[in-house]
Amino acid sequence: NAGVTQTPKFRVLKTGQSMTLLCAQDMNHEYMYWYRQDPGMGLRLIHYSVGEGTTAKGEVPDGYNVSRLKKQNFLLGLESAAPSQTSVYFCASSYLPGLGANEQFFGPGTRLTVL
Amino acid sequence: GNSVTQMEGPVTLSEEAFLTINCTYTATGYPSLFWYVQYPGEGLQLLLKATKADDKGSNKGFEATYRKETTSFHLEKGSVQVSDSAVYFCALSANFNDYKLSFGAGTTVTVRA
For residue B26, is pLDDT > 80?
A: yes
In this prediction, residue B48 has a pLDDT band, given cuts at 50, 70 and 90, of very high
Query: Nearest-CA distance from B44 to chain A in Å?
Result: 6
Query: Rounded to whole angstroms, how far apart are CA atoms B104 and B90?
Result: 5
Instruction: Look at residue A25 in the predicted model and tell me its pLDDT.
Output: 97
The helix (run of H) or strand (run of E) holding residue B49 is: strand B44-50
Q: How many cross-chain Cβ pairs, A to B, lie less than 8 Å apart?
A: 60
- Chain B residue numbers with beta carbons less than 8 Å from the beta carbon of A90 are 43-44
From first to last of its 115 residues, chain A has per-residue pLDDT tens of 789 999 999 999 999 999 999 999 999 999 999 999 998 888 999 999 999 999 999 999 999 999 999 999 999 999 999 999 999 999 999 987 665 557 889 999 999 999 9
| Residue among B113, B87, B100 nearest B6 (CA) | B87
Instruction: Look at residue B1 in the predicted model and tell me its pLDDT.
Output: 79
- Chain B residue numbers with beta carbons less than 8 Å from the beta carbon of A50 are 99
Query: Rounded to whole angstroms, how far apart are CA atoms B33 and B52?
Result: 8
CB contact under 8 A, B100 and A48: yes
The sign of the CA dihedral B25, B29, B30, B34 is negative
CB-nearest to A90 from B34, B43, B49 is B43
- Chain A residue numbers with beta carbons less than 8 Å from the beta carbon of B99 are 31, 48, 50, 94, 97, 101-102, 104
Please give the angle made by the CA atoms of B101, A102 and A107, to the nearest 5 degrees. Answer: 80
Instruction: Look at residue A97 in the predicted model and tell me its pLDDT.
Output: 66
Radius of gyration of chain B (CA): 13
Chain B interface, best mutation among A7, A43, A105, by max B CB count within 10 A? A43
Instruction: Look at residue B83 in the predicted model and tell me its pLDDT.
Output: 96
Instruction: Look at residue A99 in the predicted model and tell me its pLDDT.
Output: 58
Q: What is the pLDDT of residues B51-109, one digit of tens each?
A: 889 999 999 999 999 999 999 999 999 999 999 999 999 999 887 667 788 999 999 99
b vs e for B75-93, b when ≥16 Cβ sit within 10 Å of the residue's Cβ?
A: bebeebeeebbbbbbbbbb
